[in-house]
Structure 1
Amino acid sequence: MRIRAGFTLGYECAQSTPMLLMLDIHPSRRHDLLTEQVLQFDQYVQPRKYTDGFGNSCTRIVAPPGLTHITTSFDIQDTGEPDEVNWGAIQHEVQDLPDEVLVYLLGSRYCDTDKLASFAWSQFGYTAPGWGRVQAICDYVHNHITFNYQNADSTRSAYGGWIDRTGVCRDFAHLAVTLCRCMNVPARYCTGYLGDIGVSFVPSPMDFSAWFQVYLGGRWYTFDARHNFPRIGRILMATGRDATDVALSTNFGSAILSRFEVVTDELVGVS
């Protein structure tokens, strides 16, 4: 399957503003690229690439005063297979986890495990450790939160989503990640492209998407509490503890997002 993806983002700055961008695809997907994936700027900037502590590809710029557009467009090869399901994947004892995985058991800015630990054990303590436990958490979150773009709140934590029972894909992911961590399942937040491929067309504008991964059976598996069924055509951009670590842009000064367009389409009949 060939997918064409990309975006146009516009940032309005009152003065020169340092920015950290996480807008490249994840290094693990680079080998699937059929065309180059390059960030382009319509203003003069001097982008500098680096890899962060989570293995994500990042870009540093100083945006000039005024409006700066950032664009990219690329084709990528995808298997066309849905997210893998493995009911036999085991949950590791904490003492057996690799050192680098332990951070994904800890609370973080948007994943306030201390507020949900008691509830998590009362709700999911009866479930058998492993894939079934994570699926039970996804089922719960999927039914507990109602998706509504109008109720997006960039300051809402997992506990806030649990109380409000409304939000967007990041709220589903934060709550599911938090409940997994409470149950000693390492979980990390993911962001990327997810088009309407293999599902009914959705008339609302395309957006980036959030999902999560859990560490079971010695590897990371993808779960999605918002959609709650295996999807086709995910293009991973970044992973981290929560949305803080994978923000599209982090602005060290005033920067207003004035344009936001995302494209993710399957190219049918193109090899």
Structure 2
Amino acid sequence: MPFRLGFQIAYRFDQPTPMVAMLDVHDSHALRLLSGPAVWTSPQVPLHRYRDRFGNTCTRLLAPAGLLVLRGDVLVREVGTGGLVHEGPRGPLPQEDRQFLQPSRHCEVRPLARYAQLRFADLPSDRTRVQAICAHVARAIEYDPDSTDFNRTALRALQEGRGLSRDFAHAAIALCRGVGIAARYCTGYPPATAGGLHPEPRFAAWIEAWVDGRWQAFDPRGGAACPERVPVARGRDAADVATSCTFGLCEPEGMEVWSLGVAGTEASGATVDVATLALAS
């Protein structure tokens, strides 16, 4: 069953400003694309793509003075993988992925290591540990869309008991690393909905953990079960996968993200008013 993914983001610049954005569907899901990917700008400007150290597709552009709108739209094939990130033989954690065992900017491991060891180290398997960690994070943190703080770390999220999906992900990643399980941050589209256009003000966040010899997806906000997601970028934490990075001052005008089930594909021509929601990616 196909479903349609899309976004629309608006910024206002006082002067021409270099900018890097991560907006393309991740290459690991390229075979699922039925159309596109299509990312365009208004006004139209040249787009230059490259890969970062994590394999994410980055788009470099020069934003003109005034209003710049970025929009994307793609039709993808549904594949029920049960959270499995890639097929292939099971094996040990690749050398290049050992960085996902280390502390990172938003996922401090040392202050949470004892906390994690006492609660999860004695569980019988890595899968059980990750599931228990996600369930624990879902109970410990309350989702609060008004609690945006891009400097909040995993430790602070657990102490404050509130946050966005990125805070749930950071807390779960830090606890996984605290018991020796490699975990990485993912951002992308939320699960598809049916019956119409229901835009959200941000991309979703979840985690992937190295379990049973391969990367598998988990949703700490939902308590472990991870509905099928389509990633845009992966990294150590949210600092590695910012939706956009501008090399100069700008004023965010709005952002919306949508994911439509089969009933919603008829709405592919619908437009989204980007001024209705504040940017909070």
Would you call these one fold, judging by a TM-score over 0.5?
yes
Name the structure 2 match of 1:181. 177
Name the structure 1 match of 2:239. 244
**Of 246-255 and 168-177, the range deviating more from structure 2:** 246-255
Tell me if structure 2 keeps the 8 A contact 1:197–1:233.
no
Tell me if structure 2 keeps the 8 A contact 1:161–1:175.
yes
1:1-271 equivalences in 2 (<5 Å): 1-80=1-80, 82-84=82-84, 97-197=93-193, 205=200, 207-268=202-263
Over the aligned positions, Cα root-mean-square deviation in angstroms equals 2.5
Partner SS state of residue 146, structure 2: helix
- Paired with 2:131 and 2:176, the residues of 1 have a C-alpha distance of 10
Stretches (4+) displaced over 6 A: 200-204
Tell me if structure 2 keeps the 8 A contact 1:142–1:225.
yes
- Paired with 1:257 and 1:209, the residues of 2 have a C-alpha distance of 19
Alpha-carbon distance change, 100 to 13 in structure 1, aligned in 2, over 3 angstroms = same
- Paired with 1:238 and 1:83, the residues of 2 have a C-alpha distance of 16
Identity of aligned residues (%): 36
Deviations 1:225-264 (A, max 9, x none): 0012534341111100000111100111112220212111
- Paired with 1:201 and 1:146, the residues of 2 have a C-alpha distance of 28
- Paired with 1:48 and 1:203, the residues of 2 have a C-alpha distance of 30
Partner SS state of residue 150, structure 1: coil
Unmatched 5+ residue regions in structure 1?
A: none
Tell me if structure 1 keeps the 8 A contact 2:20–2:58.
yes
Alpha-carbon distance change, 202 to 81 in structure 1, aligned in 2, over 3 angstroms = farther
Alpha-carbon distance change, 203 to 144 in structure 1, aligned in 2, over 3 angstroms = farther
Relative to the length of structure 1, the TM-score reads: 0.89
Deviations 1:136-169 (A, max 9, x none): 1111101000001011211101111011110010
Relative to the length of structure 2, the TM-score reads: 0.86
Displacement of 1:35 in angstroms is 0.9
Tell me if structure 1 keeps the 8 A contact 2:4–2:265.
no
Unmatched 5+ residue regions in structure 2?
A: 267-281
